[in-house]
């Protein structure tokens, strides 16, 4: 990691709200991280069934896609909270810490929040239609309850919105001094 990235992260204060939101997202991220083991077991089972027993199952293939989607969508918010997401560091590392904070503020307000709101807005009718029609996989032997995995899209982006809100609170506190920063050792 670049020193510029860590410099801003080290200086961003926590607020009561950011600590609570970060704690929630981290707990969910830690819990969902166990799905990667389930995904690995599903892949191995599918491969063994296909190449050892000559019997592939579409349920396992679709379950793989669903588990990967759940893991990926929850990892987005976890990456924002832990500041381990992808960004263009070659320019950012050369910026002053306050400039980095202003870029972060505008990035959250003008790019991340509108994108999250847009996805959430269009996800609701997408999920509702799937629920109302009782949508199932079109593949023979595929998984039922297609609305569930579509609902994970909404949940993942709602969690991303909470992560962005937490980050916004921290950046706002750094730039404007409000809400007041918590001492490092104080819990929410």
Judged on CB neighbours under 10 Å (0-12, 13-18, 19+), 176 is exposed
Q: Percentage of the chain surpassing pLDDT 70?
A: 93
Alpha carbon distance 24, 10 (integer Å): 21
Q: Is position 145 within any domain?
A: yes
pLDDT exceeds cutoff 70 at 110? yes
CA 9 to chain centre: 19
Q: First vs last Cα of the chain: how many Å apart?
A: 28
Averaged pLDDT for residues 78-94? 80
Q: Is position 95 within any domain?
A: yes
Residues 6+ apart with CB under 8 A from 136: 142, 143, 144, 145, 146
Q: Is position 64 within any domain?
A: yes
Q: What is the pLDDT of residues 4-14, one digit of tens each?
A: 555 777 789 99
pLDDT, residue 150, reads: 95
- The parent domain of residue 47 ranges over 10-176
Residues 6+ apart with CB under 8 A from 11: 97, 174
Q: Is position 102 within any domain?
A: yes
Averaged pLDDT for residues 114-131? 97
pLDDT exceeds cutoff 80 at 111? yes
The helix (H) or strand (E) run that includes residue 20 is helix 16-32
Alpha carbon distance 135, 127 (integer Å): 10
pLDDT exceeds cutoff 60 at 112? yes
pLDDT exceeds cutoff 50 at 66? yes
Q: Is position 123 within any domain?
A: yes
pLDDT, residue 4, reads: 52
pLDDT exceeds cutoff 60 at 3? no
Q: Is position 184 within any domain?
A: no
pLDDT exceeds cutoff 60 at 187? no
Q: What is the pLDDT of residues 26-37, one digit of tens each?
A: 999 999 999 999
Q: How many domains does the chain have?
A: 1
pLDDT, residue 1, reads: 44
Q: Is position 2 within any domain?
A: no
Alpha carbon distance 128, 150 (integer Å): 9
Averaged pLDDT for residues 79-108? 86
Q: Is position 85 within any domain?
A: yes
pLDDT exceeds cutoff 80 at 88? no
């Amino acid at each position: 990691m670049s020193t510029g990235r860590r410099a801003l992260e080290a200086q961003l204060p926590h607020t009561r709200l950011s600590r609570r939101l970060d704690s929630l997202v981290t707990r969910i991220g830690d819990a969902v991280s166990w799905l990667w083991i389930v995904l690995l077991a599903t892949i191995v089972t599918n491969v063994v069934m296909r190449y050892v027993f000559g019997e592939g199952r579409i349920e396992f293939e679709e379950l793989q896609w669903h588990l990967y989607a759940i893991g990926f969508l929850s990892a987005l918010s976890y990456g924002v909270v832990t500041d381990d997401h992808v960004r263009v560091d070659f320019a950012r590392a050369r910026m002053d810490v306050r400039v980095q904070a202003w870029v972060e503020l505008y990035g959250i307000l003008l790019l991340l929040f509108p994108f999250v709101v847009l996805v959430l807005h269009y996800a609701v009718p997408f999920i509702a239609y799937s629920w109302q029609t009782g949508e199932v996989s079109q593949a023979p032997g595929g998984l039922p309850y297609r609305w569930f995995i579509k609902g994970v899209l909404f949940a993942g982006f709602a969690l991303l919105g909470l992560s962005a809100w937490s980050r916004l609170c921290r950046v706002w506190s750094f730039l404007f001094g409000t809400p007041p920063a918590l001492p490092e050792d104080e819990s929410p």
